[in-house]
Structures are given as structure tokens and as C-alpha cells.
Structure 1
Amino acid sequence: MTHSVRTLLISALVLVASTLPVWGQSAGDGSIYSRFGIGELQVISSSQAEAMGGHGVALRSLNYTNFSNPALWSDQVLTRASLGARFRTIESSTGTEDSRLTAGTFDGVQFSFPLERQKIGVAFGFAPVSRSNFRVIQSGTSATSPFPDESLDYEVEFLGRGGLHTITGGMGYRINSAISVGASLDYLFGTIESRRRTSFERTDFRDAVVTDGIRLSALTATLGTHLTLNNVLNDDDNLMVGAAFTLPTELSGTRTRTTGESLDQDTLSTASGGALDMPWTAKVGVAYAPSAALTVTTEGVYAPWGNASSSLTATAGMPFGFPEGGTETLNDRWRVSSGVEWRPAGDDAFRGFLAQTAYRVGVSYEQLYTSPTTETSINAVEARLGISLPTAISGTRIDLTGSVGRQGTTDQGLVRDTYYGITARVSIGERWFQQRRLR
């Protein structure tokens, strides 16, 4: 086992261990908007692209495996592995009430290697696609009480958890110095669960627990292409254009409803099947590097979630549907982002630590694909600041990204979320599979 591999394994243990206490505290944490659809959608790209506003379909780099566009996998020189953890604090406000919640999650694993250096590359990854994690508490008094001259007070707690993950594998191929193409096969799977627990102040009344769960899975694919033009405006500059298209798919699902008097959920359970249409997603981006030290990128994303349909609707035998609130809660999703990276050393590997450190900034604006009301769309704006630190191990970098954003509104009884987050990722690259020249 090489020193770099040992470093990756140790880093994995540290990152996972650091998130475990937060996981233990995070049941029900998160945004109320994750209650709808398949949950809050997560960014799947690279730590470099994430700090520059997210995604990065046009962002070509030899130091990272970018999962936004499989065509970029053709650029592999080293065998690379990376993993990370994400922490986020959300401050939610209804205009009259405020809450503050914190959660941490594992941010996925990526692995890639070249079959032919800067010609054919292969990549695999495991990452979250969406996350449902919320908690809402409502208190009230029953309009009809079985006790004369005595009210019946109760509390209803809504909890949500789960989400979708993806296992991705594919290949990128460089046709010539300017054009590359790629494709990946993506298996989506996961479980989303919501629980409603009604409790009463009277000790002679038992709690009522109803748990609705949906298990989803689907197979889809992503196609990508990338164009690089050199010496466009001056010598040694690069203009990069990238595009990726994820095919529409059908998420097959099995619904279950369990009722009981405790969290054991063993009193009564029913199940039924169906499907949810997941629309295509298109991404187009442009990146420009006037020198090896500076890169500027801009990107747009669109997915017509408003046309989605579901056969997992409520029926007489299964009184809850999916998604929550029906497909009327789904809107077309679009997102625009832009970012800058500055690395003073450029391609000079003999400069000092600060010169080889990369500094990144990015912004994004998005219309979410979910909204609790048909009259109001939910928008999100976010700013990110990142730093990439070189290490004494060649090919290994530590990336830290901080983010601050806001989504939603307090109008029409909705919720406004202000969130702060930090992502830490370790990326290791080294040469494998080298053919010996001397025997």
C-alpha cells in the first residue's frame, strides 16, 4: 500500500468519524422544502467546480475528476481518488418564528484512472442525488373533546428523512486535441420516509404514529461533449465549451404505510407500487483561461420538472401519494452560475506554498424544482468561497469550500431559509499501471 493510499484511507476515517456525531443529532434537520419532490437536489461535480459556483461542465482540469461531464474524464493522467464531508447550518424563518438547525453528511467518493494517458479515461463514483430531512411541529386543541368542560390539547410532529444516491460509471474519449466525448451509466436508488406522530397532554391517551415510505430506483445515462480552442485572444489561452445531457427516466417506486402506537411501526403495514417520471437535464457551460493562473467559467442548467407525472398517487387503499402534495408542487428547474479560480503559480510546480494554493469564488441563482404553492416559485441565491491547498505528497490536494445562501420567502405563509456551509474534500493522484521499461 502506497503512502498516498494510506493517506486517503486515514482521511476517510477522519471525515466519516467527524460527521457521525452530527448525523446522530440531525434527525429532522434541514429545509422544509426537502419535503417535496425527491428532496433537495445535491451538486455532483468536483471540489474545484463546486467552489466556482457549482457543476463545471466546461471546466477542464488535470487535477480533478469532474463528474459534471463524462467527456472530461478523457483528460486523466494520474489515477485519482477523492472523498469529502459536508456541514451546513440552516436558519429558517416564517416571519414570526425562527429556528436554527445543523447537519453533516458524507459527500461521496470518486475514483478514476486513465486507460491511455489524456486519451481514454474511466471514472466511478458514489454520491448523494437528493436529501429529504425536515422537522415541523404543530400544536392545537381538538374541536371536539370527549371530556365535558375539558379541552384536549395535542401536538403533531412531522419528520422527514432519506434521499436518493447514485452509483456512476463511465468513460471519456478524446477524439483529437480539441474535441472529447463521454458517457456514463447512472443507477439511482434510495428511500424517502416521512413520519407523523400525534401526542396528547393527557397521559391516558396513547401516541399515534403514521409512517409513509417510498423506495425508488432507476437507471439512466449521461452523455457529454467538450471543445477546447487554443490561442483564441492571445498566446497560450484556452476557450472551453462543454455540454452534458442526462436522459429522462422512470423512478420505479414502492410505497408503504405503517401505523401504530409507537416508533416500532409494527401494528399495520400496507404497500403498493408505481412510478415517478424524472425529466431530462441539460447543462451548457463556457470557461476561459487567459493564462495557466486564471480561469473564469459560466454555466446554465435546465430540467423540465413541471411536466413530470406520477402513478404513485393517493388511492382508497393507499391514502398518501408521492411526491408530497402531488406533481403540482413541481416546477421547471433552471440554474445559472459563474466563478473564478486564481492560482498564482500556474503550471510552475517549483513555486512556494502560497503561490501553488488555488483561490476560488463563485455565485449562483436558481429556481428550485419544488414549491408548496402554485402561485409562488422558490428561488435560491448562493455565494461560495474556496481554497485548494497543496500538500507534500505529489498529486494530493485538500480543498475547503465555504458557502452562504438564501432560499424561499416568508410571503404567503412560506419559509425563508438562510444557510451556511463548509465542504472539506481530499483528492489524491498518483501513477498506477506503469509499464516497466527495464527488466
Structure 2
Amino acid sequence: MMHFARTLLIGLLLTLGGVLPVWGQDAGDGSIYSRFGIGELQTPSSAQAQALGGHGVALRSLNYTNLSNPALWSDQVLTRVALGARFRTVESEGGQTEGTSRLTAGNFDGVQFSFPLLRQKLGVAFGFVPVSQSNFRSRVQRTASSSPFDDETLDYQVEFLGRGGLQKITGGFGYRFNDLISVGASLDYLFGTIETQRRTSFTRPNFQETVVTNGVRLDALSATLGTHLTIGDLLRSDDNLMVGAAVTLPASLSGTRTRTIGESLDRDTVSTASGGALDMPLTTRLGIAYVPSSALTLTVNGSYAPWSQAESSMTDDDVSFAFPVGGTETLADQWTLSSGVEWRPAGDDSFESFLARTAYRLGVSYEQLYVSPNTTTTLNAVEARLGISLPTSVSGTRIDLTTHVGRQGTTSQNLVQDLYYGVSARVTIGERWFQERRLR
């Protein structure tokens, strides 16, 4: 237990030590598409699944806790803690911007904790992970035909900024009936704050800059149900074909909005309103994984969420400012397809060399975004990922590094295209707990 605590502390210091210096760089421009809906959606899963394109709904593993399918939690052998950080750069072009805008930022990538109640039979898992992120800044130059004081035109700039997002606390169990099938369920609590700001500045010195900020606090309860099927010796001896499915039930995000005017500590609260709700749709995920040997893993995953059917209800017209969806007409059905391959030369042989025990991963994904500029246009994202998983001298502990590059949006129709790239790091620590010591 003490060794586990020391390893966890070192992992925390390494992870947070890399994240904290980057937070100060958030002054740049992020993706304008995070302005709509609840922000850019995140994909909580294991480090292994992330490097293989995301989700990993069927990816059964003794080394990782995969939050995308609670049925996989039945495979626990060791008590595990996983924590990570991610760094991302977004370069945007098109729209009404001149040239290219850029944002480099780092964020904490969540914590996962799991342990077996019955070894490889009944497992429990908990997690604190990001669900969405809003981080953008856009500017529009405008000209008023006249000012209140004279007949001259008045040039001014309107700047829109956003930050915040939703997080999720999840907890549940997975149970394996036999070598063929397992099931699982989790209870999910979503919460967070999304803040949008409108800053108006003027070229003439006798006009005061104005700043209006809307802070929206959201929360909801949901649940995820999952199942997993394993078929062994299908095409050859000791191979495995695995099929996984998970459903996240609809959630109704209730919100409270606070509107303020002014900057930093001199803000004045203008109004506070509540009573609105945004209904998040049902999300389904399906995955297939084939393991011909302990050295090779192949995966294919897909997900679907009918965001075009999302509805927001308000108690009065004023509360309509509370939700950052920009009107549900800006939302479209969201779906993803991903595929990946992992190669670990040593397989399960723990006595091979360091490089042979290292896992090498490649993944690709294609997504139709849930943000839509109009009813006839859809926006897409394509991404490639490359990762490695490094073994350590501590049995059950691995360090995972993943780099990614992708492109989303389009410059046609005066829209914006984002090029993004970055790296993520995660430490997964495993140790055997709750053992009954025997006297000899």
C-alpha cells in the first residue's frame, strides 16, 4: 500500500508539473465551434483506447480501466489508479478572421480508480473525467452609421470569448457471468460552468469599453449500461473476438445563469435566472476487437447521438440567454467511426527486453460534429493518433504517451477550419490490495 501511494504521488507530480505551466497560455484563440452546444465533446476512455482511435467499447484488458463500457470493469485483477494530462494546439483559419489564430493549452485529463471485489468476476470503478470544453475567442469589426454625439461614423470591435465546460463523476460495476458474456452499469453525474463574454471596444477615446458576461452553471444525472461478448478460438487457437455495446441514457441539464457587467473584481451582477433545461440525447456505442495473439490487437468502433433532436425549454424569454447552445438549430446528429491496431512484440512474456514489452499503437477516426451552421451543411473531423505504452519496473504500472493530429470544419461558406495537434500522457498504476496474509 505504501509503495502504491508513493508511485501515485510521483505520477501526480509529473502530470500536474507538466500541465500547470501551460495553463498560462490560454490567452490565444481556440476553436470557434466550442461556442455552440455544451462545447467540444470529449471521449473518456483508457489510454490504450484513446491511442487506438477512441472509445474501445470492446477492448478487454487487464492493464486498463475503460470508462466507455462498464461491462469491461468485471476484468479487474489489480487495484488501479490512472491519471493523465493533455496538451493541445489549435490553429484556425477562415471566417471573418485575418490570417491564422492559435491556442496552445494544457488540461488535466481526469482520474480513474478501480478494484476487484471478485477477481475477474465482479469489479467496481470510479472516475472523474471531462465531458466537454468551451475555449474560444472571435472578433468582429463593425461600423455604426452615426454616434450619439455627432454625424461621424463610429468604428468599434466586438469580441466574443468563452471558457469552461462539463465534467463527469461516474461510478458503477461490471459483472462477468462466464467466459462468454459480461454486463455493467454506472451512474453518471454531469456538472460544470460555461462562461461566455461579449466585449465591445471603440476606436474613439471618449467611449468606454463594455463587458457583459454570462455564466451558466449546469448539472444532470444520467446512467450508462453496457454489455460485452467474448468468443474464443474462432479462427485459430487462443485468439479472441470481442464485441461490446454501451448506451448512455438521455440527461436533462438544468441550469442557472448569472449575468454581470464589468471586468475582474469590479463586476456588477445584473441578473440571475434559472428554470431552463437542455435535454441531451441517447448515445449508443458499438465496438469490435480481434486479438489473434497476445502480441496483436485490432479494433473498430462507432458511436451515434441524435443531437438534432435535442430540446431546450425555458420558463421565460429572459432565461433563453442561459444556455450556450445558440439555439438548438445549430445542432446536428453526431457520429464517429474509428479503427486502431496495437502491436506488442513480447506479448505476455514479461522477461523480454524493454522495447519488446513496449506496446506500439496507431489509430484513426472520422467524426460528424454535432455542431451545424445550418440545416444543409454538416461539419466533419478526421484525426490520426500514434502512441506507445512503456513498461516500468513496477509490475502492473505503465506510462502511456499518445500524439494526435486532426482537422475539423471547412473554410467554405465563410466558415472556419481548425488544424489541431497535441500530446497526452497518462500513468496507470496497479497493485494487488486486500490480500489475506497467510502464516507459514
Question: What TM-score comes out, normalization by structure 2 length?
Answer: 0.96
> Counterparts of 2:382 and 2:62 in 1: how far apart (Å)?
30
Q: Report the Cα offset of residue 373 of structure 1.
A: 2.5
TM superposition shift of 1:3: 2.5
- Tell me the CA shift for residue 181 of structure 1: 0.5
Q: CA deviation at 1:22?
A: 1.7
SS of the residue corresponding to residue 44 of structure 1 reads: coil
Q: How far did residue 152 of structure 1 move?
A: 2.4
* Conserved 8 A contact 2:65-2:73: yes
2:187 is aligned, of 180, 185, 188, to: 185
Shift in CA distance, 376/181, structure 1 to aligned 2, threshold 3 Å: same
* Aligned-pair CA distance for 1:201: 2.5
- Could you tell me which residue of structure 2 aligns to residue 250 of structure 1? 252
User: Given that residues 30 and 92 in structure 2 are in contact (C-alpha distance below 8 angstroms), is that contact kept between their aligned partners in structure 1?
Assistant: no
Q: Match of 1:46? A: 46
| Equivalence for 1:437 | 438
1:346 is matched with 347
- Alpha-carbon distance, 1:149 to partner: 5.9
Q: 1:420 aligns to what?
A: 421
Please state whether the residue corresponding to 2:193 is helix, strand or coil: strand
**Conserved? CA contact 1:179–1:228, under 8 Å:** yes
Question: What does residue 234 of structure 1 align with?
Answer: 236
Post-superposition Cα deviations, 1:84-120, rounded to whole Å, max 9, x if no partner, equal 0000011101075311211110000000000011011
1:6-405 superposed matches below 5 A: 6-27=6-27, 29-94=29-94, 97-148=99-150, 150-260=152-262, 264-312=266-314, 315=317, 317-318=318-319, 320=321, 322-405=323-406
Cα distance in structure 2, aligned partners of 1:210 and 1:312: 21
Cα distance in 1 for residues equivalent to 2:209 and 2:40 = 30
SS of match in other structure, 2:204 = coil
Q: Which moves more between the two structures, 92-101 or 408-417? A: 92-101
Shift of 1:213: 2.0
- 2: distance between equivalents of 1:223 and 1:296? 24
Residues paired across the two proteins, number: 438
Farther-moved stretch of structure 1 (137-146 vs 216-225): 137-146
CA distance in 2, matches of 1:151, 1:66: 59
Between the aligned partners of 1:135 and 1:263, the Cα distance in structure 2 is 21
Deviation readout 1:276-316 (Å, 9 max, x if unpaired): 0011110111100000000000011001111110014871x
Q: Which shifted more, 20-29 or 65-74? A: 20-29
Change (3 A) 1:159 1:28: farther
Give the whole-Å Cα distance in 2 for the aligned partners of 1:270 and 1:253: 11
How far off is 1:132 after superposition?
Answer: 0.5
Q: Secondary structure at the match of 1:376?
A: coil
Residues of 2 paired with 1:382 and 1:269: CA distance?
42
**Whole-Å Cα distance in 2 between the matches of residues 353 and 66 of structure 1?**
25
Matched residue of 1:133: which SS?
strand
Paired residues of 1:93 and 1:416 also in contact (CA < 8 A): yes
Identical columns (%):
73
Q: Shift in Å at residue 36 of structure 1?
A: 0.3
AA matched with 1:105: N
- 2:401 and 2:420 map into 1 onto residues whose CA distance is 17
**1:302·1:335 contact (CA, 8 Å) conserved in 2?**
yes
CA contact (8 A) 1:34 1:134 kept: yes
Take 2:373 and 2:422, find their aligned partners in 1: how far apart are those partners?
A: 25
Q: Secondary structure at the match of 2:308?
A: helix
Look up the SS of the partner of 1:129 in the other structure.
Answer: strand
Aligned partner letter, 2:47: S
Cα distance change of structure 1 residues 422 and 394 upon mapping to structure 2, 3 Å threshold: same
Given the superposition, is the C-alpha separation of residues 155 and 425 from structure 1 closer, same or farther in structure 2, using an over 3 Å criterion?
Answer: same
| Secondary structure of 1:48's aligned partner | helix
CA contact under 8 A between 2:145 and 2:152: conserved in structure 1? no
**What is the CA deviation profile of residues 69-89 of structure 1, one whole-angstrom value per residue up to 9, with x for unaligned ones?**
000000000000010000001
Q: Find the aligned partners of 2:395 and 2:53 in 1 and give their Cα distance.
A: 27
Q: Distance in 1 between matches of 2:347 and 2:325?
A: 49
8 Å contact kept, 1:11–1:426: yes
Q: CA deviation at 1:267?
A: 4.9
Unaligned runs of 5+ in 1: none
Structure-2 change in CA distance of 1:261 and 1:114 (3 Å): closer
Secondary structure class of the residue paired with 1:132: strand
Question: Which letter maps to 2:354?
Answer: F
Secondary structure of 2:436's aligned partner: coil
Q: List per-residue Cα deviations over 1:186-241 (Å, max 9, x = no partner).
A: 00000111000111223322111111121111111100010111100000100000
3-state secondary structure, aligned to 2:321: coil
2-structure distance, mates of 1:196, 1:404: 31
Contact 1:244 1:283 in 2 (8 A): yes
Shift of 1:143: 1.6
- SS of 1:310's equivalent in the other structure is strand
Q: For residues 30 and 260 of structure 1, what CA distance do their matches in structure 2 show?
A: 23
* Structure 1: distance between partners of 2:324 and 2:113: 33
Deviation at 1:242, TM superposition (A): 0.4
For 1:59, give the aligned amino acid: L
> Residue deviations 1:153-212, cap 9 Å, x none?
222111100100000000000100111110000000001110001112233221111111
